[in-house]
Structure 1
Amino acid sequence: MKRYTAIALLVAGLVLVWWTFGPKDQDPFASALAGADAEEAMALANAWKQEGKGVQSYVTPEAVVFRLSESREVKVPLPDDRMVVAVAPYVSFTHRCEVHFMSSCQGELAGEKVWIRVEDEGGRVVQEGEVTLLPNGFVELWLPRGQRYAFTARYGGLEARKTLTTFANSPTCVTDVPLKETPSDES
C-alpha cells in the first residue's frame, strides 16, 4: 500500500510541477490565435463575443489584444500599411468610445443593412456599397494608414457623415455618427 501511495504522490507532484511550469499554450483561445493574422484575430474576437466565450478583446492602432486571464495577454499585430476603424452609425443611441472592444462595444443597428462610402483625401473611393453591420452594430473598415477619409452612411432615408483617420493616435472605435434626415433639394 505504501508503494501505491508513493506512486500516487509522485504522479500528483509531477502534475503540479507541469501545471505550474509547463507550457501555457494549452489554452484553447491561445491555440486558436497561434499564427492568426489581424483580420483572423478580429473575426475570432467577434465570434467569441457572439458565442459568449467571455474573452476580453479590443483593437488599438497597433494590435488586436486578447486578455485571456488576469496575467495572460495575447497581441496580434496589425499590418504596417493598414489599420481597422470600427464605425457604428446610430439613430437613437450610442456610447462614447475611442478604443474598440469587440467583446463589449454594442451599436444600435446590429445586423442592419447600411449603404456606406469611404473616400480618401484625393476623392478616390476606397469602399462603397451596402454592408450588413456586425451583430455588435459596427462595420469594420480596414484602411491604409496615415490618412483622412470621408465616411458616409445611409440607412432608411437617413444619412451620416464623419471624418475618419488612420494615424498612430487615431481612435479604432467611432460611435459619434448620428444618422439624420437629409435636407431636401427642393426650393
Structure 2
Amino acid sequence: MTSLSRRTIISGGLGLFGSTVLVACSPTIPDTGSVGTADALEPRARQLLAAHGIQASTAEDAVTALDQVSQRRPLALTGSVGYDQVAFADDSDQVTVPLTGGQFYLSMAPYRTQTHECYYHNLGGCQGELTDTPIHVTVTTDSGTTLLDEDATTGANGFTGLWIPRDHTGTVTITAADTTASTLFNSGPDGPTCLTTLHLA
C-alpha cells in the first residue's frame, strides 16, 4: 500500500499550458487565487469545451464528460483536476474554473502489468492499462464509513472517475475478476485526484 501523503514528481510528454507546464498527468494545478462561487460555467469555458464536443452546464459536468470521452489519450483538450478547480486547455486557449459542488473527483486506474505516476488527474492526458474493464469499487473512510460500494467499468482511458465527499481519508479497494487492489485516498486540499497504484493481484 502506497502512502498518498506526499506529492509525486513525474516526467515525460511535456506541453505548454500558458506559463504552467503540464504533463500527461499533471503534478501541479495553476495558482489562480480565488476560484469564485458561481455554479454555472462561464461563457469562455463553455466555448472551449464546445469546440471539442463537450456540452456541460457546470465544471463538474464537464469533468465527468471529458473523462468519459471514448478515445484513447492524449486528447486535444486537457483538463487537470484539483481539489476545488479544474484547468482546461488546448493549443489555443486555457481556462481554470471552480468546482462548486462540494465534492472531490477521484479517478482510478487499476492495472496488471504497467502503470504511470500521477497526482492530479489529467482528463485528456492520462491513459491507464485496463480499458473497458468491469470492476467493483469500495471507498471507505478511516473511521469505517463506506462512501461508495458499487460496480463500475473503466473507460477508454483505463480510468474510473467518482465524486466523493471532500476532506476524508481512507482506503479505496478495486476488484476485477478474481483480483483485488487497495490504496489510500485523501480527498482534502492536498489530496491526489489520480490513483494509479492499484495493482490487481
TM-score when normalising by structure 1: 0.72
Q: How does 1:4-153 map to 2 (within 5 A)?
A: 27=47, 29=49, 36-46=57-67, 50=71, 54-70=76-92, 72-79=93-100, 81-153=102-174
Report the residue type matching 2:49 in the other structure.
F
In structure 2, what is the Cα distance between the partners aligned to 1:82 and 1:98?
17
What does residue 163 of structure 1 align with?
184
Partner SS for 1:152:
strand
Q: 1:129 to 1:119 in 2, by over 3 A?
A: same
Report the residue type matching 1:60 in the other structure.
G
Contact 1:49 1:55 in 2 (8 A): no
Count of matched residue positions in the alignment of Structure 1 and Structure 2: 157
Contact 2:45 2:95 in 1 (8 A): no
Moved over 4 A (4+): 23-28, 30-35
More helix by share: 1
Contact 1:29 1:68 in 2 (8 A): no
Within the alignment, does 1:154 sit opposite 2:175 as a pair? yes
Contact 2:55 2:62 in 1 (8 A): no
Contact 2:70 2:156 in 1 (8 A): no
More strand by share: 1
Gaps of 5+ in 1: 1-22, 181-187
The higher radius of gyration belongs to 1
Q: 1:156 to 1:79 in 2, by over 3 A?
A: same
Instruction: Tell me the percent identity.
Output: 27
Tell me the CA shift for residue 79 of structure 1.
2.8
Tell me the CA shift for residue 47 of structure 1.
5.1
- CA offsets, 1:128-177, max 9 Å, x none? 12211121111112111111021111112111111100111111111011
What does residue 13 of structure 2 align with?
none
Q: Greater CA deviation, 122-131 or 167-176?
A: 122-131
